[in-house]
């Protein structure tokens, strides 16, 4: 049989280049990378033995029998394993393979692999896949097509996986995967149509090049200055550690006052120093993968916990000496951070956030040179993520609840108003308080949506209840400083109010002192809302920097004394609180004292001249319906 080797020559060259780079470049210590190396080695073996076995068969007269049989067995074995390796790599990309995951699939595929390998290895005796003897020459056995069937099934499985579960990949990654598999399908078809061309190897090689460029190009994972892995690579390794549920240790090594040092020594010297630090770390801790994060910060990882004290001492000693750059001695002092022993982390997201916070702390440290990521920090981040999830769900399902807390007239002692306070009742983590979700909502921009929901629900409550009948004058709604900066807010609130048919004077808007930032914008927003009939109350007066002079500039109709200054007064009375109340009274500004917790406080604040009182002494915030029921009952 005449065989055309044209494809094989170019394929071998390309494969060798690819393999060479893969061997000399740093490799991430994750199964995916190892699996890719196995795939390439299998391709090289398949290609080599495809050529060798063909050559041996063609030149049978000068080749001993056992050599012909052996090259054929190795070729078929490598052929079978290569398809398996290709599919295995794809499965790892999908993270379908990991400790304890898809165990049945792994067992089934291994059993099938063993079966096909068994067929091949025994073929010299059974002739099932191929047979060779001097009289008849080389012959395909009756089960020869089964080897191709195996390959076709694996390719089809990989292809289906991408079609149905490829949504988590980025578009170009998915396209790359699809094209890699399309090439294999084309190759398989050609192999059937034209068996004389050794083309399958070229198709496998092409697909592998596509995978390499998309997923294994280590250049994308290297930080150029230090030639260490970058943060993306760090996340990949952590994901792998978490997938295989193995515990691990991490330490961060960073120079104190990195930016200042950069200014003193200059960028070039500092980059050189970073290169030296990287080299030192690689040399001193060769078993630990090294990553460069940012601002001079290196991260070391280790699956088994090293001798912590020794590692830290070694680094401290080295950082006491200078880093000799081109012509300068660069002195840097060390800030060191590490993870706690047996840290339990449930997700990559939590850990990455923990590391970010740890490095922010370490990076801004003026004196402290040791930081620690402990379980408490990780748990609080995890809780914060649950709160974030609860917040997003409540917002999208319009489930933010309005609780009302009575505001009592100081003279009559009757409830004359209420403050609306947001609550989230989450099916998973239960009742969440605003102290937890408001800061998150302010950070991720969803505070406006939350404010709208609260405002609109309060409008509906006013619409659905007879406020006059219950002797309620108004309901206070809290506005976040960020919400105040939205120029469309006045129009938007007015529209909601009008739709509900609620007079604007029924709603008082509370803003905190911190909102007094962009003064001009805030003033114009307030004036616009006041023109539409709303009133403004300054919340938490005394907790920040607002003073009487600034107060005069703003059109507030009332202030709420922050509960801390109220409580401080009752712990240690000074004339400040009574004189503040007196001054506001003389300015005809209504004063609400918050945090009234007992009778003594009530009487004293009433005597001082406060207009309204609010606090647990009267009632805690309760669900809106309960509030109205209580009013009815009283
Ligand atoms: P705030 O507006 O100053 O609300 C008063 C807070 O003090 C409420 O806490 C209330 O439950 C609590 N409080 C009232 N009386 C007493 C008392 O006698 N003793 C004690 N220990 N606490 C008392 P809450 O409901 O946890 O709200 C905390 C803060 O969250 C609010 O402070 C407000 O700034 C913010 N917030 C609540 N709801 C919203 C909202 O819908 N939008 C915005 N932007 N912020 C909100
Ligand atoms: Mg308030
Ligand atoms: Mg307040």
> Ligand 1 mean position to 572 CA, how many Å?
24
Domains of the chain, with CATH numbers?
6-216 (1.20.1070.10), 221-373 (3.30.70.270), 394-633 (3.20.20.450)
Is residue 543 over pLDDT 90? no
Separation CA 122–CA 127 (nearest Å): 8
395 dihedral zone (left: phi>0; alpha: psi -120 to 50; beta): alpha
The residue to mutate among 594, 614, 624, having the most atoms of ligand 1 within 8 angstroms of its beta carbon, is 594
Percentage of the chain beyond pLDDT 70 is: 96
Query: Distance between alpha carbon 21 and the CA centroid of its chain, in Å?
Result: 31
Atom of ligand 1 nearest to the CA of 442: 44
The ligand 1 atom at the shortest distance from the C-alpha of residue 616 is: 18
pLDDT digits 0-9 by tens, 444-501: 889 999 999 999 999 999 999 998 988 999 999 999 888 888 889 999 999 999 999 9
| Alpha carbon nearest to ligand 1 atom 22, residue | 595
Which atom of ligand 1 is nearest the CA belonging to 403? 25
Give, for ligand 1, the residue of 404, 434, 444, 600 to mutate: max count of ligand atoms closer than 8 Å to Cβ.
434
* Closest approach atom of ligand 1 to CA 479: 44
Question: What pLDDT shows up at residue 516?
Answer: 58
pLDDT per residue as tens digits for the range 259-269: 999 999 999 99
Residues with CB under 6 A from ligand 1: 405, 421-422, 433-435, 438, 451, 454, 478-480, 510, 539-540, 594-597, 614-616, 621
Which residues lie at CB < 5 A from ion ligand 3?
539-540
Check pLDDT > 60 for residue 515. Answer: no
Say which range, 42-51, 54-63, 515-524, 602-611, has the weakest mean pLDDT: 515-524
Map 391-414 to HEC letters.
HHHHHHCCCCEEEEEEEEECCCCC
pLDDT above 60: residue 1:
no
Cα separation of 414 and 490, whole Å?
Answer: 32
- pLDDT value of residue 547: 67
Q: Which stretches within 212-285 are classed as H helix?
A: 231-243, 258-265, 267-284
**Which pLDDT value is given to residue 76?**
96
The model's pLDDT over 148-189, given as tens digits with 9 standing for 90+, comes to: 999 999 999 999 999 999 888 999 999 999 999 999 999 888
Atom of ligand 1 nearest to the CA of 594: 15
Rounded Cα distance between 479 and 555, Å, is 16
Distance 608 CA to ligand 1 centre (A): 23
Helix (H) or strand (E) holding 90: helix 65-93
Which residue among 394, 403, 406, 421 is best mutated to probe the pocket of ligand 1, counting the most ligand atoms within 8 A of its Cβ? 421
Place 358 in a pLDDT band, splitting at 50, 70 and 90.
very high
Q: Which atom of ligand 1 is nearest to the CA of 512?
A: 34
Q: What is the whole-number distance in angstroms between the Cα of residue 421 and the centre of ligand 1?
A: 6
pLDDT confidence of residue 517: 63
Residue 568 C-alpha to ligand 3 middle, in angstroms?
15
How far is the centre of ligand 1, averaged over its atoms, from the C-alpha of 478 (Å)?
Answer: 9
Question: 12-16, 498-502, 542-546, 587-591 — which is least confidently predicted?
Answer: 542-546
As a whole number of angstroms, the distance between CA 419 and CA 593 comes to 13
The residue behind tokens 């460029």 is 213
């Amino acid at each position: 049989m005449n065989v055309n080797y044209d494809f094989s020559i170019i394929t071998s060259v390309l494969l060798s280049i690819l393999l060479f780079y893969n061997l000399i470049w740093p490799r991430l210590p994750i199964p995916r990378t190892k699996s890719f190396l196995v795939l390439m080695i299998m391709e090289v073996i398949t290609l080599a033995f495809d050529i060798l076995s063909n050559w041996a068969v063609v030149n049978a007269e000068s080749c001993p029998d056992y050599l012909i049989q052996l090259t054929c067995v190795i070729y078929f074995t490598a052929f079978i394993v290569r398809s398996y390796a290709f599919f295995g790599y794809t499965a790892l990309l999908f993270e379908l393979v990991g400790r304890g995951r898809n165990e049945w699939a792994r067992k089934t595929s291994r059993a099938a692999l063993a079966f096909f390998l068994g067929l091949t290895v025994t073929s010299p005796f059974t002739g099932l896949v191929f047979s060779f003897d001097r009289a008849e020459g080389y012959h395909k056995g009756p089960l020869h097509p089964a080897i191709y069937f195996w390959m076709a099934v694996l390719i089809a499985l990989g292809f289906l996986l991408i079609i149905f579960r490829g949504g988590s990949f980025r578009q170009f990654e998915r396209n790359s995967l699809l094209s890699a598999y399309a090439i294999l399908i084309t190759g398989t078809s050609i192999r059937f149509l034209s068996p004389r061309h050794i083309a399958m190897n070229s198709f496998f090689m092409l697909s592998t090049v596509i995978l390499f460029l998309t997923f294994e190009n280590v250049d994308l994972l290297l930080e150029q200055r230090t030639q260490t892995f970058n943060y993306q690579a760090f996340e990949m390794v952590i994901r792998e550690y978490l997938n295989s549920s193995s515990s691990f240790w991490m330490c961060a090594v960073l120079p104190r006052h990195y930016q200042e040092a950069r200014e003193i020594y200059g960028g070039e010297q500092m980059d050189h120093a970073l290169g030296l630090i990287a080299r030192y770390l690689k040399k001193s801790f060769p078993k630990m993968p090294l990553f460069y994060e940012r601002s001079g910060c290196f991260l070391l990882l280790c699956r088994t916990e090293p001798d912590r004290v020794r590692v830290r001492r070694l680094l401290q000693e080295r950082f006491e000496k200078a880093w000799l750059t081109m012509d300068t001695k660069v002195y840097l002092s060390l800030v060191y951070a590490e993870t706690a022993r047996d840290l339990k982390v449930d997700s990559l997201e939590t850990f990455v956030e923990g590391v970010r916070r740890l490095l922010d702390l370490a990076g801004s440290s003026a004196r402290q040179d040791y930081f620690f990521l402990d379980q408490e920090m990780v748990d609080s981040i995890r809780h914060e993520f649950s709160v974030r999830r609860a917040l997003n769900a409540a917002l999208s399902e319009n489930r933010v609840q309005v609780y009302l807390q009575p505001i009592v007239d100081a003279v009559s002692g009757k409830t004359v108003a209420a403050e609306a306070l947001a609550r989230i009742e989450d099916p998973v983590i239960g009742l969440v308080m605003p102290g937890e979700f408001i800061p998150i909502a302010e950070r991720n921009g969803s505070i406006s949506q939350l404010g709208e929901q609260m405002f609109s629900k309060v409008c509906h409550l006013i619409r659905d209840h007879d406020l006059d009948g219950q002797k309620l004058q108004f309901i206070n709604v809290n506005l976040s400083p960020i919400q105040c900066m939205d120029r469309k807010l006045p129009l938007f609130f007015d529209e909601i109010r009008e739709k509900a048919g609620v007079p604007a004077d029924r709603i008082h808007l509370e803003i905190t002192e911190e909102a007094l930032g962009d003064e001009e914008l805030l003033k114009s927003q307030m004036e616009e809302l006041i023109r539409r009939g709303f009133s403004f109350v300054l919340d938490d007066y005394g907790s920040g920097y607002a003073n009487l002079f600034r107060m005069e500039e703003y059109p507030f109709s009332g202030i709420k004394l922050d509960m801390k200054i109220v409580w401080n007064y009752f712990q240690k009375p000074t004339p400040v609180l009574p004189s503040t109340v007196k001054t506001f009274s003389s300015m005809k500004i209504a004063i609400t004292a918050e945090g009234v917790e007992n009778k003594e406080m009530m009487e004293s604040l009433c005597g001082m001249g406060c207009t309204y009182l609010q606090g647990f002494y009267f009632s805690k915030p309760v669900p809106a319906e309960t509030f109205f029921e209580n009013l009815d009952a009283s």
